[in-house]
Amino acid sequence: MLADYLAQYGYFAIAIGAFLEGETILLLAGYAAEQGIFDLRVVMPLGFIGAFAGDQFWFYLARRHGSHWLARRPDLLAKATTAKRLIESHATLFILSFRFIIGLRNLGAVAVALSDVTTRRFVVLNALAALLWSVLVIGAGYLFGEAAAAMLVRLEGVEKQLLAIGGLLAGAGIASIVLRRWLMAKLK
């Protein structure tokens, strides 16, 4: 499905995928660049620009409307206050790492926007994190896509899907558990 989307919309799909949450689309784009379908010199900047712009969008939206929205939800206010203290005491580490936690990328930008972190600081750290993230994800697709494709060709039927799902779940699960435990320890 994502491969079809990428094939149909090309470079536009890469930018939009990175803007939204796009680990998978960037992995596929890296692999497609390795195969000669896309130009890596175009894929890399698009991944960075999409990731950076997506986080900036959520940051500015929450900076402008987040406090008003949160004030109408008292059940979330206590949790938000605790998260705000954590972010403010570890802002640099949080901004540089939240995009690497699956499902937290857009929420991380919102959480930072509700803290006292300055816009300038967020822009600089977000640019560094978006650059690192996009290069690592696209690079992984570029470097390991061929090996993964070759391994999948050797498997038949259900084994392919089980192996792909298992690998993705294991990697995502390990990364999420480690980072969430660290964040939860800091929230207490």
Domain ranges of the chain: 2-187
Q: How many residues does the chain have?
A: 188
How does pLDDT run across 68-89, given as a tens digit for each residue? 877 777 776 666 677 777 788 8
| Close Cβ partners of 19 (under 8 Å, ≥ 6 residues apart) | 50, 51, 53, 54, 57
| Close Cβ partners of 20 (under 8 Å, ≥ 6 residues apart) | 54
Give dist(CA 35, CA 30) in Å, integer: 9
Between these two residues, 10 and 60, which has the higher pLDDT value?
60
Burial class (CB in 10 A: 0-12, 13-18, 19+), 164: middle
Residue 131 confidence (pLDDT): 95
Pick from 97, 104, 15, 92: nearest CA to 51 = 15
- 98 secondary structure, DSSP code: G
> CA 77, 78, 84, 87 torsion: positive or negative?
negative
For the whole prediction, is pTM greater than 0.75?
A: no
How does pLDDT run across 23-57, given as a tens digit for each residue? 888 888 898 898 888 999 999 999 999 999 999 99
Residue 74 confidence (pLDDT): 73
The tally of CA atoms less than 13 A away on the side-chain side of residue 66 is: 22
Q: Does residue 183 contact residue 103 with C-beta atoms inside 8 Å?
A: no
Residue 164 confidence (pLDDT): 65
